[in-house]
A and B are shown apart, each in its own frame.
Chain A
């Protein structure tokens, strides 16, 4: 359903292009974001979770809840080159005018967009920290995001919520174990050797180890550095949530620049987004205050942008993103 009329779109565009002072519907300047509120730990059953709300709570806000769940994955048996799966769910309360098939389509689209936005960061920063045992077990990340309310700028909000969930993520501590048969006892009992490097590493021992799987939970950060590698692992402490990710400042942020040549603006509400449909989404990562990496770009919309405008847009996007990343880091560190 089209939800804007031509005269509304012309009014909004005219206001944005007005000189000397562009005005927006709620009086913000072109580069003002609505107030962002972030909260961690909203889903206690997940390994990491967060909620991001852009705008005031209520109808005029975009609200996303994201949760990360870790599951043990065996690299050798399944296709091990996908450490990360992500899905976005659009609730009917967020989009009351859409039919269920349209909601499914929108959910699929946003899942792909969010996955593209985060995949680089997962591969470079997060996945190396998720190895359990060197010979084939690791944590698989499942990220789920639910959009409970949408009033514009949903992609930025999705990345903020995902970043918050990863910030909150706790990886359980593990250590690898290995079983070997002791030959002194007649009953053929098995003793457990912890931290013993397997000198021969023959197939029988590792098969035995596999056969005595103690649990099906997940853990395993301590396996790195063990010689020979345990075939199995255990949680160091059942009640311990685990350790947070290292280098959380490197998690990505996304800024969406809405393009209305010659100006661009940030944080469009729903009506503004429909009136100015051409957008440039940029995903940046700032591992340290001096470094900046661009991880994903996406341009949507019907209009074209002259090539020489692009470097300035990317530079502008970088400065906005670094401010956003700093603000988010400060707020989340303070929690």
Chain B
């Protein structure tokens, strides 16, 4: 029941002794060739290349004749454009991103949403599907009853529609797959670990649905059948904005807990997520003895990560 331990030794993820490649050592500092066989990591203030031949992009600055990196990250080159993508930064929204957010405030004709970015997200009343059909017009009474749709604390999945001038994200839930989230639990990871995938709605074979928000917010829920939506007739207001969960059996709950522990372990060890890694990790944990709660132990985490890295 209680396990009191002494603190673990700090773990250094980048503690590789022999891995410093000779590529960097052999490279001539004045060379104009940019060799991108391996990921080139820079630190702030490090010279990248000459500014005569290349244009500078994000994460760089020009000092005299050379382009230098201003953040610690990997150098990327597109034709003549050099940019540095930071290893660790806040989520920066881009148009078309899928995000999971939590309502923080209900304002006039809009909701303010926390999306783990530098600015909050704004969800306009005109950007949500109103009950009664996707084509229903907004009425005065809708503005006065906004809490019937979303209230403070609700989780939702939305897409970034546009960016305001100050960087705030404008969201919309105008598709039938977006909207309020239920039947599951919520996990937070660093946004750097979520890669841009073709679809962020993942259905794992164990009966668990995952929504990987690009802002690092993840929703794990019970699998819903891809019910044949008859277009707009299938859009039921009571269902979409209801707070009531469906009945969930204990096997699903256990599967959801297992997946959330896997995600936490992978996040703690900075492994990026894709659906294939999650499926493999899930199968691996099923093969191990032990309960779901053993997964939060340090040794278990190390062996899981080692097994995943090997594949």
Contact = CB atoms under 8 A, between A and B. Distances in A.
Query: Are chains A and B native binding partners rather than an unrelated pairing?
Result: yes
A324 B257 contact: no
A200 interface: no
Nearest to A324: B2
Nearest to A29: B293
Interface stretch (B37-45, B81-89, B137-145, B247-255): B247-255
B254 A23 contact: yes
Interface string B289-311: 00111011110010000000000
Given A8-B155, A37-B5, A51-B7, A25 B245 contact: no
Contact of A11 (B5, B102, B185, B298): B185
Interface in A36-60: 36-39, 51, 53, 56-60
A35 to B, nearest CB: 5
A181 interface: no
A27 B258 contact: yes
B48 to A, nearest CB: 33
Interface string A1-19: 1111111101110110010
Contacts of A12: 185
Interface string A311-335: 0000000001001100110110001
Nearest to A1: B104
B243 interface: yes
B132 to A, nearest CB: 22
A2 B151 CA distance: 10
A33 B5 CA distance: 12
Interface size grouping (class) on chain B: 35 or more
B295 A27 contact: yes
A24 interface: yes
Given A7-B243, A7-B245, A32 B1 contact: yes
A258 to B, nearest CB: 15
B4 A37 contact: yes
Interface in A233-275: 271
A11 B260 CA distance: 14
A27 B8 contact: no
Contacts of A97: 114
Contacts of A112: none
A37 B8 CA distance: 8
A324 B2 CA distance: 6
B182 interface: yes
A18 B7 CA distance: 34
Nearest to A34: B296
A25 B250 contact: no
A37 B6 CA distance: 5
Given A5-B154, A60-B264, A26 B292 contact: yes
A25 B296 contact: no
A8 B103 CA distance: 14
A34 B182 CA distance: 26
A28 interface: yes
A27 B260 CA distance: 9
Interface in A205-258: none
Contacts of B188: 59
B153 interface: yes
B109 to A, nearest CB: 21
Contacts of A31: 1
Contacts of A56: 268, 296, 298, 301
Contact of B4 (A2, A26, A36, A57): A36
B245 A27 contact: no
B33 to A, nearest CB: 40
B4 A7 contact: no
Nearest to B261: A26
Given A12-B185, A14-B248, A327-B4, 7 more contacts: A5-B154, A27-B254, A27-B295, A38-B6, A58-B268, A271-B186, A320-B1
Interface of A: 1-8, 10-12, 14-15, 18, 21, 23-29, 31-39, 51, 53, 56-60, 97, 271, 320, 323-324, 327-328, 330-331, 335
17 contacts: A3-B153, A6-B243, A7-B182, A11-B184, A12-B185, A15-B253, A21-B250, A23-B250, A23-B254, A24-B257, A25-B260, A26-B296, A28-B293, A39-B7, A56-B298, A324-B4, A331-B4
